[in-house]
Amino acid sequence: MNKDVFYVGIDVGCQELWLSIEGFKPKMFKHSKDGIRALHNWSQKRSNHKQIHFCMEATGVYSISVASLLAKKRQTVVSIVNPAQIAAYARAQMRRSKTDQIDAEVIRNYAETQSPPIWTPLSQTLRQLTALVTQADAIKECLQQWSNRCHAQGFVPDLPKEITQSQRALERSLKRELKKIETAINNLCAQESTLAQQLALLSTIPGVANQTAVKLLAYGQNWLTERSPKALTAYAGLAPHHHQSGSSVRAKSRTDKRGNPKLRKTL
């Protein structure tokens, strides 16, 4: 624990933010721009001019929205931690109850004792690429679902022609939207020199072509450049998992799939 740092734990919800500071009861703020601003001001008044280290669990867009605003403040750093790490830490502390207030305290204790790495926001270009690639994959998934449905409907006797027409219209619409998104991805990669350089570098890997390289950038994000190869392997859920103990336990080694499923699927 760094005594020159003021640690704050935040339990992030879609509507509420529970804040934990040592010596004070957990306090609730609304999950909004005004609520996050009030949260920061309340913490700053109690920090005694120390650097504030906010820590929270990774909860997708909810934690990113909070972290992005807090990271812009002066004398403020933010950490976003894997929820599995917080859950394991709570078990190690023999916590028998789970509430938003208790979770905020556990997160603060974790930050004080474990010194989690500082989170840095993605560049605007990478955020846009990730959003576009995610949207394209979602449309492809919908297209596959409708294709499967159309195949099954081919075996239905006396199927109304309206259903067939509706099916075809939906598929045409989805394909048009997919083409728009893919065009936007290509334009973004062509306009941004940094993306183009990274894509060219990734494409030198045997078996990796442009489409895979784009997905690697979108789902690998800063892990591709800021983490070690071992950390990146674990993040993708491709690290080996061994389970051995003494002479009696010799379980078969397997791939530990705890990681980013989209990145793993891409590979």
pLDDT single digits (tens) 126-174? 999 999 999 999 999 999 999 999 889 889 988 999 998 999 999 999 9
DSSP result, the chain: --TTEEEEEEEE-SSEEEEE-TTS--EEEESSHHHHHHHHHHHHHHTTTPEEEEEEE--THHHHHHHHHHTTSTTEEEEEE-HHHHHHHHHHTT-----HHHHHHHHHHHHHHH-PPPP-PPPHHHHHHHHHHHHHHHHHHHHHHHHHHHHHHTTSTT--HHHHHHHHHHHHHHHHHHHHHHHHHHHHHHH-HHHHHHHHHHTTSTT--HHHHHHHHHHHTTHHHHS-HHHHHHHTT-EEEEEEETTTEEEEEEEE--S-HHHHHH-
Query: 47: which 2 tokens?
Result: 């920090």
The C-alpha atoms of residue 253 and residue 267 are separated, in whole angstroms, by 20
Which residue segment(s) compose the domain that 239 sits in?
A: 235-266
Please tell me whether residues 262 and 179 are part of one structural domain: no
- Whether residue 173 lies inside any domain: the answer is yes
Say yes or no: 146 and 207 in one domain. Answer: yes
pTM for the full predicted model: 0.83
- Total domain count, the chain: 3
Whether residue 157 sits in one domain with residue 128 = yes
Distance from the Cα of residue 60 to its chain's centroid: 5
Instruction: Copy the structure tokens of residue 73.
Output: 């403040």
Question: 177-208 pLDDT, tens per residue?
Answer: 999 999 999 999 999 998 999 999 999 999 99
What is the reported pLDDT for 54? 97
Same domain, 130 and 103: no
**211 and 131 fall within a common domain:** yes
Nearest residue to 12 via CA among 89, 68, 66, 76: 66
Say yes or no: 46 and 147 in one domain: no
pLDDT tens-digit series, residues 3-45: 789 999 999 999 999 999 998 999 999 999 999 999 999 999 9
Residue 119 lies in a domain: no
The predicted structure's pLDDT at residue 96: 87
Percent of residues, the chain, with pLDDT higher than 90? 69
Token pair listed for 27: 């306090």
pLDDT score for 204: 94
Same-domain check for residues 158 and 218: yes
